[in-house]
Structure 1
């Protein structure tokens, strides 16, 4: 996220973006954990399945969103 574009946003917009990013990180983490556990269960029942790679590959999105959250939080803290 560009620092210039963040400086143009109001405090309410920053808070809204931060809350949305935080919600998405939590939802994605919960869904990916559930999917991983389900695919592990399926693998135990029917044998190893390549579907185990899907939640592991999609989990790479979480650190990017956490980085975005930290940038938003830093900008909000700098305005206080």
Structure 2
């Protein structure tokens, strides 16, 4: 997120966005872990499946959201 855009938002809006991003990161991490474990189980049962790549590829979203969350937290801390 652009720092200039964040500076125009209210503190309440920043807090709301930080909470939403934090929740989405956790849900995505838990969901991808569950899907990965399921596909590993399916691979053990039926042989190797190319679906194992899907949760690994989608996990690249998590660091981007964590960076976004840290940027929001930094802006919130600068306002205190």
Tell me whether the two structures share a fold, i.e. TM-score over 0.5: yes
TM superposition score normalised by structure 1 = 1.00
- Figure out how many residues of one structure are paired with residues of the other and give that number: 80
Matching residue of 1:26: 26
Structure 2 runs not aligned, ≥5 long: none
TM superposition score normalised by structure 2 = 1.00
Offset at residue 41 of structure 1 (A): 0.1
Offset at residue 22 of structure 1 (A): 0.1
Offset at residue 46 of structure 1 (A): 0.2
Runs of 4+ in 1 over 2 A off after TM superposition: none
RMSD (Å), alpha carbons: 0.2
Structure 1 runs not aligned, ≥5 long: none
